[in-house]
Structure 1
Amino acid sequence: MHTEAKDEMRDKILEAALKRFTHYGASKTTMNEIADDLHCSKASLYYYFPDKKAMHTAVLMKIAEAYFQAMEKEAKDVKSATTALYNIIDLRKDFISKFCRLEIFKIIQDNSKFFLEEKKKAKQREFNIHTDIIKAGIASGEFNVKDPVLTAEILVQALMGLRFSVPDHIREDMDLDDEMMDNIIDKQKQLLEIFIKGIKA
């Protein structure tokens, strides 16, 4: 099979899996159901993915890339750094709301070498995005910051802390529901309001 055709089939599998996972949940979806949706054999799926976890991981990597690209777009041609920082939080909320059935929270708990490395890269990418926005705010005279890199790291780490500390009754086998997510987003925006007041020029 040509590489182009293989890539196309892999993309079709991921799209079918994403559709199923988003609607029914990843844990409740079977490989047979995805194969039926694609009118192919289950063996065809295993040609591309050794198991459902590998497929689930590939789906998450695909949507994560789209998420980061949306954030990086927000960090380009910044007209208001304050607005851009709030927009990043809204992007996060939209992303979680849209893909809440993908069991993202469970994946975050995975401490395998692969996921630890991916989480490290994701965190650095988020640091870079926030650094770019804060630098834009400095350039426009909106922010008064001596070290934009450190400031961005502190902001991202504080926001991340709220993601994990606000839900006080979440188990490892469950994901965030809408109420939990709204609570986190509200507190992230309150924190951002306080943070921005502190770095305003």
Structure 2
Amino acid sequence: MNFMENGTNFDLETKKVRKLMQAENKDEMRDKILEAALRRFTHYGAAKTTMNEIADDLHCSKASLYYYYPDKNAMHIAVLQKIAESFFSEMEEEARNVKSATRALERIIEIRETFLTKFCRLEIFKILQNPSPTILEEMEKAKKREIEIHTQVIKAGVQSGEFKVKHPGKTAELLVLAVNGLRFSVPNHVRPDMEMDDELFAEIIDKQKQLLEIFIKGMKA
């Protein structure tokens, strides 16, 4: 009886290990696909990259890619989610280690600038023009996360006496909405669905920095 019970337990544990290994292999393959897609999208642009090219880079069949992602659009979204996590993690690191709240807010703008410069070929703004329910949900999560980061920095500034703000959360929300809104209000000679060129991008970042300077002066008054 004990032998049978031990044998049954061994079989169950074996199955658990196999499932875990399969899950790890799937996660590893998913990461490899996203890394390959990111390299292609960053170098050539998402629109000009094909599933065949990504499959060739990975030395696998296109069918293997479809096992993980139903189409290139789904893969594109997954790539954006992957790099967005890195983007937010870097900003959150700034918010956790605030020595100067002013400098932390300036660094967040710089992180945004570096991020968009590095990934300008990912066509981030085009995919936001006709967002799916999934994208809308991710956009809402991103906005809340960014507001939380700015709230944390502003609260640190209030605690240190650097800022004089009664409602850090509301101020942070206004700042985030205003800064992000410049992406759509500054361009007046291009279609909303077009990607930013270097000149327009520089203009938007410059105005974001100017706007931040105004906010900081107001918070210090």
> Same fold by TM (over 0.5)?
yes
Show the counterpart of 1:59. Answer: 79
Show the counterpart of 1:197. Answer: 217
SS of aligned partner of 2:163? coil
Q: Distance in 2 between matches of 1:80 and 1:152?
A: 16
Shift of the alpha carbon at 1:173? 4.1
Query: Relative to 1, partners in 2 of residues 1:172 and 1:190: Cα closer, same or farther, differing over 3 Å?
Result: closer
Which runs of at least 4 in structure 1 moved beyond 3 Å after TM superposition? none
Q: Distance in 2 between matches of 1:49 and 1:162?
A: 33
The structure showing larger relative contact order (alpha-carbon pairs under 8 Å, at least 6 residues apart) is 1
Whether the 8 Å contact between 2:109 and 2:209 is mirrored in structure 1 is yes
Sequence identity of aligned pairs in percent? 71
SS of aligned partner of 1:2? helix
Which structure has the greater CA radius of gyration?
Answer: 2
Q: Distance in 2 between matches of 1:161 and 1:109?
A: 14
Shift of the alpha carbon at 1:169? 2.4
* Pair 1:170 & 2:190 matched: yes
Q: What's the TM-score once normalised by structure 2's chain length?
A: 0.88
Picking from 149, 158, 171, the partner of 2:169 is 149
- Quote the RMSD (CA, aligned, Å): 1.1
Show the counterpart of 1:90. Answer: 110
Q: Distance in 2 between matches of 1:106 and 1:185?
A: 18
Q: What's the TM-score once normalised by structure 1's chain length?
A: 0.97
Q: Distance in 1 between matches of 2:129 and 2:38?
A: 20
Unpaired runs of at least 5, structure 2: 1-20
Q: 1:101-148 deviations in whole A, cap 9, x for unaligned?
A: 000001221332211111111000000000000000001100000000
Unpaired runs of at least 5, structure 1: none
* Pair 1:137 & 2:157 matched: yes
Show the counterpart of 1:103. Answer: 123
